[in-house]
Structure 1
Amino acid sequence: MGGLLGLSNGGTINSAYATGAISGKSSLVGGLIGQARFYGSINNSYATGAVSAPTAYYVGGLVGQARFVSVNNSYATGAVTGGSATGGLVGYLDTTSVNNSYSTGAVLGRNVGGLIGLITRGNVTNSFWDTVTSGQASSNGGTGKTTAELLTQSTYTGWDFTNIWYVADGPTRPFLRSEYEFTKLVNGALTVNAAAAAANGGVVTAIAALPGNMLPRVLPGLYVSVLDGQINFTNRAGSPNFSSGQFGYTPSVTSPPISLPANPGLRFTPPPMFTQPPAFTTVKDGGIKDPVDMVVQ
């Protein structure tokens, strides 16, 4: 049983994802694929839903059992509960290679591992699990890192952050650049923040506050797209300018706004109007006093 496939028999899976929760009683349960076998591969893919199969064996956040396959540039973030051989990424690994991948979900069961639950033969290279969020200090393959370390690009030695992955140090763990192409908004329109001022000759095409339940395909926070001119994006942590064609993002009022390399799959819609927000009140540390948290102008 899997969020995408129950069985992949020699197939090649590219740029696939599953976000729904998985619950099962039989064995071979995975967030994306239940069982992958016989010289196939899983590439540039991810699963985010919780996986619950407390009486089953071979249970994984991405793949329940991987035999004679390769798993490359993939991740899982959902909590995983299994009976035996349970892992944050793969439950049971047999004659399989795992490269440049990670998991972060809580892992519960018997014979568990933060990344890999059980391994017979195989290689795990440049792959990690979060020792804090998983609740697991060990794994049958991979390297355990703290949450803070996994939010830092330098942790991921050998990963391709030019063509495959993207990370903003501090706010995000790595996510796939293909998610820019495949992410579409669902379940309603963006929330428009009208407390902004159009100035500096710039035109903001949208300001969007995203709900946290859309993680990780679209990270929660404030996004801006600049259609023309220049925009100043100010909060307590910074005040950068963004020019025509750029996309700005900040996850919170305490994180400096950063520039994204591309539109993260959002459908920007111009707000009906802009209103001039109250002026910032300067405090001793030079920050911004409530009620104004951020200003785009």
Structure 2
Amino acid sequence: MKVLRSKLGDLNAYLFLLPSIVILGLFLIYPIIWSVIVSFKNVKPIALKNAGLFEIPGTFVGWDNYSAAIHNPLFFKAIVNTAYFGVLFIPLSMFGAVFLAILVNQKLKGVNFVRSIFFIPYIISIVSGSLIFMFLFNGDKGLVNALLLKFGLTGPNWLANAAWAMPVIVLMSCWRNIGYYMLIYLSGLQNIPKDLYEVADVEGATKFQKFRLITWPLLGRISLVVMILLLIHSLNVFQEIFIMTGGGPGDSTITVPFLIYNRAFKYYEFGPAAAMSYLLFIFVVGVAIIQRKLVDRRLG
């Protein structure tokens, strides 16, 4: 009897899990399997339109889509632009978040309100944030150029300038995300033993020495997590590009996710788009593994 009740209990548990399993299967697992298969096929839009839900049309082309992606000059340029975004975005966000975390870790009056102010941009949608910065950096009527004009300087048409468009996008992304990473670092700062700083004070250490020798090393594992999150964000930057520049001017802000989107949903080249997405996935996993090993070796 007890065995029967146990089996019935297990069955009830699986029945409760069944809706979640079906949803995950249809909207997560199946699209992954579908895109992997499509990356090895040449799929025509008309064939896809007439295909059933679980039917994957197209002719098998092997590794041709991957080879074409690797030899595509625009794909290489998108990789360079994505790397450029990451080179600017990751250190600015990381060190900016550490600076703000140290700032709001002080026992000052109204510090909780200041923390909320710094965190507010993160809860603003990317669309809203992008529109705000498009207004600020508008070439003709933007607030930034109006302020520069007060000092006798003429600002460029920021988002229409190949040299300045990507830095403006990076600035918007930093402004929006830095408050979130500030809270992560703040939690790490509050777990550092105060005794270490008291000993450093007795030894006559300066604030910079305490940061270099105590704070930053003890934030090492948190920095690893933050760096991986920032890297993933950098390699998946899309909405900002789509709204603010559309990949222009002259493909200077086109990134790998934006290129994948264009190939799949603008030109209906599903095979090459899927191949590019999995090349990006392999790169992200590889970089994350290398980062983990380097940090573990350093901390070990």
> What TM-score do the two structures reach when normalised by structure 2?
0.21
More relative contact order, 1 or 2 (CA 8 Å, 6+ apart): 2
> What TM-score do the two structures reach when normalised by structure 1?
0.21
**Which structure has the larger Rg over C-alpha atoms?**
2
Which one has a larger percent strand, Structure 1 or Structure 2? 1
